[in-house]
């Protein structure tokens, strides 16, 4: 599993890469990565990818509850049902 700073950089690079390749626009979609300790770093809701910096990303629990808001108190991605499916996927991928 990645350290938080490394995960933040990877999530941001993936989000901006999707934008550059025309796979998303504006504030649609989300990108996340699993952290040690059972948390997830995820893109925030309502902030265009081109404006994001690593400190804007949000850390949430596997249940989707915010652990630390992004810069300026940003909320996690608003795609709640997707976030919970991602959480189930992350739980299933945890090492035994």
Q: How confident is the model at residue 21 (pLDDT cuts 50, 70, 90)?
A: very high
| Cα 27 to Cα 23: distance, rounded to the nearest angstrom | 12
The structure tokens 């959480």 sit at 87
Single out the residue of 57, 66, 64 nearest to residue 84, CA to CA.
64
Enumerate domains of the chain plus CATH numbers: 4-92 (3.40.225.10)
Q: Is the pTM of this model over 0.85?
A: no
Q: What pLDDT score was predicted for residue 86?
A: 58
| Cα 86 to Cα 53: distance, rounded to the nearest angstrom | 22
| Cα 32 to Cα 57: distance, rounded to the nearest angstrom | 9
User: Are the beta carbons of 75 and 58 closer than 8 angstroms?
Assistant: yes
């Amino acid at each position: 599993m990645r350290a938080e700073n490394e995960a933040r950089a990877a999530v941001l690079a993936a989000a901006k890469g999707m934008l550059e390749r025309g796979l998303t626009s504006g504030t649609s979609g989300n990108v996340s990565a699993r952290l040690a300790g059972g948390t997830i770093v995820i893109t925030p809701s309502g902030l265009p990818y081109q404006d994001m910096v690593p400190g804007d990303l949000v850390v949430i629990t596997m249940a989707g509850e915010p652990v630390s808001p992004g810069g300026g108190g940003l909320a996690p991605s608003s795609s709640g049902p997707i976030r919970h499916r991602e959480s189930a996927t992350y739980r299933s991928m945890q090492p035994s």
